[in-house]
Amino acid sequence: MTRVLLVNPPSPERLGAPLLGQQYVASALVARGCDVRVLDCAARHFEHDFDWIVAEIERFAPHMLGVGLFTRWVWHAYRLVDALERRVPLMVAGGAHATVRAEETLARGFDVAVEGEAEETIVRLVDLVEGRTALADIPGVVFRDGDGRVRRGPTGDFVADLDRLPFPQLAQDLFDSRWYSPAGAEVIPGGILTSRGCPARCTFCANYVTGRGFRYRSADNVVAELNAYHRRTGVTFFPCWDDALTANPKRLLALCEALERDLEFPLGWSAITRATMVRPELLRAMKRAGLVTVNFGVESGDDAILRAIKKGVTTDHVVRALEWAKAEGLRTATNFMLGFPQESPPALERTLRFMERIAPLTDTFSTLGVLVPFPGTPLYDDFHAAYGFTDWWLREDHARYDPPPPLDDFDRFYRHYIDDANLELDFFRYSPDMRALIRECLRFKAEHNLKMMGLLEDPVFRAAPPEWFAPPVREAAGIA
């Protein structure tokens, strides 16, 4: 039996739940009949050190090692590959970073990079290990031939029929719940994807990794997964991670009807969408089907910046969508990004004023938010040379990131959210005025969220020093 070990390397951003992409890949391997093990070293409560991880990989002696690569943790992944010193027969890089920087992964020690979705490719790589196929015949792979030249297999297609994929929960036993939750917790937090792809062209996003075409699962398939997961775990709340859930309203209405009609339990769920992709009747149907929270990607409160980043929405769209959502009794969340290179202090001031305007309509502002230029995005391609952050992910100092402290450590918890570590990386060489305004936006979001959670009434906060809640001192004059 072919042994496959899937690893998320240690990460500066700790995970509170398994990544659905890794669960899908693990399930595909289980369905193929492999002996599969998972080490999620990025999990919030995974406490083993680097030497233990290397020793555990060697002990399992996999025929194939699959490493999920996300840009913020690739430095740690490359360190892991170096430490293994070719002691695994086939080392495979997958994930978003491997898709956009395939040749880099080969130069750093991987044998194969998988471009795009990996569920079908990973099974073909098992065929390779078992001598059933040649590497050059596998779609979606990048590798070096015997002469050291970079070669690609046939162009890989996105998975067209998502209903064919095994449910990610098929591999649930491979993910130790203690990695993600305090000791004693038995259930891994749920999550679901009902579709893949996003038609938007935002400059900060590399959505071609999953395609701009919209592919979706049948309503029956989604309901079957939710019911199966609930029977096994008792979980009733599922975050929905679709990038463009509301892009096809007719399909979504049919899904909502099926959720109302065929689920065996009272469902609660959250969704991510854009302000131009909702209408009152759609939100109403989603609420009837159990929707609790809708998260809108706002990004900026300045319409000129929204145009510059090709967001495709306006501030008026955002206000209208929030009003519709609140009228239907939904909780709302909004996501902002701070520090676009096109952004001036007056533009960021307008974003802060817009946050204040929509605060009565917003239950939660997404925390942190200082802009990070990820590879494969127009944002990175257009600005990395001018600002000097080319290949920033290969620098160790950029691989460090303090995870959120526990909620009961109020001092550190508050300061974590007003001192976003990404600001200190200073990708876009912010002026003192911009840095002060970014911190003011972070402070406003943090205080709003703490207030909505009731924590600002906590005795610890009432006794806090006044400077916690005072606006930050501007580092330069001229911002009124």
Residue 142 β-bridge partners: 113, 152
Q: Give me the pLDDT at residue 247, please.
A: 93
Output DSSP code: residue 210. T
Rg (CA), the chain: 23
Q: Which residue type, as a one-letter code, is found at position 300?
A: S
What residue has token string 């001092």? Answer: 411
CA distance 308 to 149: 39
Among 193, 50, 30, 190, smallest CA distance to 123 is for: 30
User: What are the distances in angstroms from CA 241 to CA 68, 159, 196, 258?
Assistant: 18, 17, 9, 19
Which residues of the chain, if any, have pLDDT below 70?
182-187, 189, 208-212, 400-418, 455-480
Asked whether the whole model's pTM tops 0.85, one would answer yes
Q: Say what the pLDDT of residue 24 is.
A: 96
For 48, left (φ over 0), alpha (ψ -120 to 50), or beta? beta
Question: Beta strands 3-8 and 331-336: pairing type?
Answer: unpaired
Which phi and psi (to 5°) does residue 113 adopt? -115, 140
Q: What does the pLDDT read at residue 456?
A: 57
* Residues 374, 207: Cα–Cα separation, whole Å: 11
DSSP helix/strand/coil, 322:
helix
- What is the rounded distance in angstroms from the CA atom of residue 35 to the CA atom of residue 49? 24
Helix 74-84 vs helix 50-60: angle between axes, to the nearest 10 degrees?
50
Phi and psi at 475, nearest 5°, equal -85, -5
Collapsing DSSP to helix, strand or coil, 313 comes out as coil
How far apart CA 4 and CA 7 sit, in angstroms, is 10
Tokens of 8: 């998320």
CATH topology of domain 3-152: Rossmann fold (3.40.50)
Beta bridge partners of residue 216, listed in sequence order: 195
Closest CA to 312 of 198, 214, 208: 198
List, in order, residues 6 or more apart from 148 with CB less than 8 Å away: none
Predicted confidence at residue 404, as pLDDT, reads 60
| pLDDT tens readout for residues 388-435 | 999 999 998 777 655 566 555 666 666 666 678 889 899 999 999 999
> Residue 65 is inside which H or E element, if any?
strand 64-68
d(CA 369, CA 353): 17
Q: Do 51 and 373 touch, CB atoms closer than 8 A? A: no
Tokens of 198: 């996003």
CA dist 188 and 179 (Å) reads 9
Single-letter amino acid, residue 284: R
Check for a shared fold between 3-152 and 190-468: no
Q: d(Cα 350, Cα 338) in Å, to the nearest integer?
A: 12
Q: In Å, what is the CA distance from 237 to each residue of 177, 262, 363?
A: 17, 16, 18
Other C-beta atoms within 10 Å of 91: how many?
Answer: 21
* Tokens standing for residue 462: 């009432």
User: Which stretches of 85-164 are DSSP H helices?
Assistant: 96-100, 102-107, 119-129
| Amino acid letter, residue 234 | G
Residue with tokens 């990820």: 374
DSSP string computed for 338-394: B--TT--HHHHHHHHHHHHHHGGG-SEEPS--B----TTSHHHHHHHHHHT-TTGGG
CA 465 to chain centre: 35
Beta pairing partners, 293: 270, 331
What separation in angstroms does the CA of 231 have from each of 220, 228, 261, 378, 420? Answer: 16, 5, 17, 44, 40
- Domain 190-468 sits in CATH 3.80.30.20: yes
**Nearest Cα to Cα of residue 115 among 158, 164, 79, 72:** 158
Domain residue extents for the chain:
3-152, 190-468
Instruction: Locate 135 and state its tokens.
Output: 């590497």
